[in-house]
Homo-oligomer: A and B are copies of this chain.
Amino acid sequence: MQLARKDLLGIESLSKKEIELILETAKTFQEISTREVKKVPTLRGKTVINLFFEDSTRTRTSFEIAGKRLSADVINISQKGSSVAKGETLLDTAKNIEAMGPDLIVCRHWAAGVPHFLASRLKASIINAGDGAHEHPTQALLDLMTIREAKGKIAGLNVSIVGDISHSRVARSNIHALNKMGARVTVAGPATMIPAEIEKMGVKVSTDLRKGIASADVIMMLRIQRERLTMSPFPTLREYSQLYGLNKEALKGAKPDVVIMHPGPVNRGVEIDPEVADGPYSLILDQVTNGVAIRMAVLYLLSGPKGKAAL
């Protein structure tokens, strides 16, 4: 099997077969992180650049650990120390980095489309580690892996995504991923946080939390970004939390074997109650663990001779 593409920019453009390949590869890599010696020579002599224009300890660390466990050389570049401050264009920054011969560039940017822009202009493989409100493909892939581990399958499941759908790249990537894998997606949240015509993406919509999660096998809570809330028509964190926060009370109407996910970082007491986040049905930390395996798989599958990354 091969991943016949140069870049991983989003879930939208992946086929189901490609998603399956990544999930299968991640499964074989998962065991490495449980060994006494957590390291294989697979990517020895490969250069991975973490190019982050937006802070993200968790995603950067996950990619850095993934790269190092595969023996790659990992170099971190963050916006603050970058030439952006000196007036250089994004493309010049990227072309300069590419001229140093990296094999893979992991790019996080606050603006949607930046990884695509770079991918079309650079020879290095680009991995989208989150671009604006657009996509965050490795997050959706680790979510799929986590669901499959917990439920034994993805197809046929009901998955509810709750929160600020409009601004969420996690929601967008997951909707594409779950649709492709045959799950049924419901999005739930205040009307002001749900994009118009999102039904066209093949999802059901609910503005009521309890109805939105009533038949869910999986609930994905999204992080509320406090800074965005103040600019929205939504009055206060407190009111949001009362209507859309997931607590034990709200969970009463859900299926007894429902599982709860969250991409982190968690706002305890806002979108999710501590007793839910830490409850037995919570998969939040499994998501983080699987994130390393997914990123190892993606780095590996994109690091081969372009178009020939054999499994």
Contacts and interface: CB of A to CB of B under 8 A. Distances in A.
A78 interface: yes
Nearest to A39: B45
A45 B38 contact: yes
Contacts of A73: 38-39, 65, 68-69
A101 B45 contact: no
Interface in A29-51: 33-39, 44-47, 49
B291 A100 contact: yes
Contact-residue size bin, chain A (C-beta under 8 Å from the other chain): 35 or more
Contacts of A96: 58, 264-265, 285, 288
Most chain B Cβ neighbours within 10 Å, of A36, A81, A96, A103: A96
A175 interface: no
Nearest to A287: B99
A133 interface: no
A37 B44 contact: yes
A292 interface: yes
Nearest to A268: B89
A55 B69 CA distance: 27
Which of A44, A83, A93 has the most chain B CB atoms inside 10 A of its CB?
A83
Contacts of A82: 57
Contact of A266 (B38, B77, B85, B92): B92
Interface in A88-125: 88-89, 92-93, 95-103
B34 A38 contact: no
A228 interface: no
Which of A49, A65, A85, A291: most chain B CB closer than 10 A? A65
18 contacts: A33-B101, A35-B45, A38-B45, A38-B46, A39-B44, A56-B81, A57-B81, A57-B82, A57-B93, A60-B81, A61-B75, A62-B100, A68-B75, A88-B266, A89-B268, A92-B264, A99-B288, A100-B288
